[in-house]
């Protein structure tokens, strides 16, 4: 079950698959849909006062894919609920905050996930001390995911100064974290080894991400790119090129692929 807290959000829900085509004109190729903002028809969302609904395509009441847009009033909160199928959500405007569980989480600013996100951003600002204090607190959370991410963010504050003993302790902590958190931990350790001028260890840490957590595609792509850069630093351009080719082939739609292609072109044109 998950609790969805939505604040000033305009959300687009997309269920993957073929769908009924609407707004189709005779001279447009089949499957092509163009719907202008002014053509979207908004209605009241039944059972949710103040919420507006627009069905773009498909039928919400039947099995199969559909696409809708939803407008929520400011500070609107949805109670715990479930979804029977796959749902993809795109926030077009505003802020979406999501919690998981069977009970209401309380004010958004007090949610552990919200505090974690805020503290993470503040690490690189003049409020670093306050952010670190929040992360220290969250690292003791009973939620292993929150605690793990908070610990990983705290590692970022010691990328240059971490001692071998601290790194060994972090590696031991990483092995105990939930699998979905470990990918971020390996990436940060890659950054640590890179900052400490240990390119081989950095490359190995980065490569853990695409090898073990490839489903986290954006992070896996960034890690492949970072590992390739470390191999270049080690004087291994052919191995780096191999990683760049893999990135361009398997993650072509992600931003990291463009930089990988640029670096690959540079490597292949060198005498």
pLDDT in tens, 16-65: 223 333 444 456 566 666 778 888 888 898 888 888 888 888 887 787 78
Which tens digit of pLDDT belongs to each residue from 68-96? 888 888 767 777 777 777 777 877 887 77
Instruction: Please report whether residue 232 resides in a domain.
Output: yes
| Among candidate residues 82, 105, 128, the one where a domain is terminated | 105
- Same structural domain, 154 and 164: no
Separation between Cα atoms, residue 27 and residue 203, nearest integer Å: 53
Instruction: Please report whether residue 134 resides in a domain.
Output: yes
Domains held by the chain: number: 3
- Same structural domain, 152 and 68: no
- Same structural domain, 149 and 188: no
Separation between Cα atoms, residue 5 and residue 96, nearest integer Å: 7
Instruction: Please report whether residue 25 resides in a domain.
Output: no
Segments forming the whole domain that contains residue 241: 159-271
Question: pTM of the predicted model, to two decimals?
Answer: 0.62
Show the CA angle centred on residue 180, arms to residues 78 and 86, nearest 5°: 45
Residue 8 has pLDDT above 50, yes or no: no
Neighbouring residues of 45: CB distance < 8 A, sequence distance ≥ 6: 51, 52, 53, 70
Find, among 26, 27, 57, 30, the residue nearest to 41 by Cα: 57
Q: Are 14 and 67 in contact (CB under 8 A)?
A: yes
Instruction: Please report whether residue 26 resides in a domain.
Output: no
- Same structural domain, 62 and 89: yes
Residue-level pLDDT at 91: 78
- Same structural domain, 146 and 128: yes
Q: Are 69 and 9 in contact (CB under 8 A)?
A: no
Which tens digit of pLDDT belongs to each residue from 225-255? 999 999 999 999 999 999 999 999 999 999 9
Residue 210 has pLDDT above 80, yes or no: yes
- Same structural domain, 216 and 255: yes
């Amino acid at each position: 079950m998950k609790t969805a807290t939505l604040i000033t959000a305009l959300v687009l829900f997309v269920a993957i698959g073929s769908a009924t085509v609407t707004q189709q004109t005779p001279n447009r190729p089949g499957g092509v849909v163009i719907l202008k903002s002014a053509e979207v028809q908004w209605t009241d969302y039944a059972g949710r006062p103040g919420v507006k609904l627009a069905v773009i395509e498909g039928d919400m009441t039947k099995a199969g894919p559909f696409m809708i847009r939803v407008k929520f009033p400011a500070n609107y909160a949805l109670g715990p609920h479930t979804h029977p199928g796959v749902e993809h959500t795109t926030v077009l405007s505003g802020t979406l905050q999501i919690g998981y569980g069977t009970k209401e989480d309380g004010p958004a600013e007090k949610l552990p996930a919200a505090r974690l996100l805020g503290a993470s951003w503040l690490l690189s600002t003049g409020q670093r001390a306050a952010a670190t204090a929040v992360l220290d607190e969250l690292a003791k959370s009973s939620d292993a995911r929150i605690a793990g991410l908070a610990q990983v963010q705290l590692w970022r504050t010691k990328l240059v100064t971490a001692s071998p003993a601290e790194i060994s302790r972090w590696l031991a902590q990483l092995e105990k974290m939930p699998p979905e958190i470990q990918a971020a931990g390996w990436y940060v350790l890659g950054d640590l080894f890179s900052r400490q001028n240990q390119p081989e260890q950095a490359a190995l840490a980065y490569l853990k991400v695409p090898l073990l957590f490839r489903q986290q595609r954006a992070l896996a792509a960034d890690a492949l790119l970072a590992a390739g850069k470390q191999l270049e630093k080690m004087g291994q351009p052919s191995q780096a090129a191999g990683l760049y080719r893999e990135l361009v082939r398997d993650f072509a739609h992600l931003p990291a692929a463009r930089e990988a292609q640029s670096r690959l072109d540079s490597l292949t044109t060198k005498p």
